[in-house]
Amino acid sequence: MQNGEGKSLSDYSEYLRMLDEVYKDVPRVRSTGEWFAIPQLKIEYEGDKSILVNFKEICELFRREPSHIMKFLVRNLATAGYVTDDLKLVLQGHFNEDQIMNLLNRYVSFFVRCQNCGRPDTRLIKKAKVVYMVCEACGAEAPIKTTA
Ligand SMILES: [Zn+2]
Q: How far is the CA of 124 from the centre of ligand 1 (A)?
A: 13
Q: What is the pLDDT of residues 58-73, one digit of tens each?
A: 999 999 999 999 999 9
- β-bridge pairing 122-127 and 81-83: unpaired
Sign, CA dihedral 44-91-146-27, equals negative
User: What pLDDT, on the 0 to 100 scale, is given for residue 146?
Assistant: 60
CATH class entry, domain 36-112: alpha beta
Distance (angstroms) between ligand 1 centre and the Cα of 9 equals 43
User: How far is residue 106's CA from residue 124's CA, in Å, rounded to a whole number?
Assistant: 16
- 78 within 8 A of 92, measured Cβ to Cβ: no
Question: Pick the residue with more confidence: 109 or 12?
Answer: 109
Please report which confidence band the pLDDT of residue 31 belongs to, taking 50, 70 and 90 as the band edges.
Answer: very low
Q: Is the pLDDT of residue 30 over 60?
A: no
Q: What is the mean pLDDT of residues 75-83?
A: 98
Q: Output the CA 68–ligand 1 centroid distance in Å.
A: 21
Percent of the chain at pLDDT above 90?
Answer: 66
DSSP per position, 94-105: ---HHHHHHHHH
pTM: 0.73
Is the predicted pLDDT of residue 33 greater than 60, yes or no? no
* Per-domain residue ranges of the chain: 36-112, 117-148
- pLDDT given for residue 13 in this prediction: 72
What gap in Å lies between CA 99 and CA 73, rounded to an integer?
10
Element spanning 148, H or E: none
Mean pLDDT (the chain, rounded): 85
Check whether 29 has a pLDDT greater than 60.
no
CB 62, CB 112: distance < 8 Å: yes
pLDDT for 98-117, tens place per residue? 999 999 999 999 999 998 99
Q: What share of the chain is helix, strand, coil (3-state, %, to 5)?
A: 40, 20, 40
Q: Which helix H or strand E contains 7, and what residues bound it? A: helix 4-24
Specify whether the CB–CB gap between 92 and 79 falls below 8 A.
yes
For every residue of 98-136, DSSP letters joined together read HHHHHHHHHHIIIIIS-TTT--S-EEEEEETTEEEEEET
Please give the distance, rounded to the nearest whole angstrom, from the Cα atom of residue 106 to the centre of ligand 1: 18
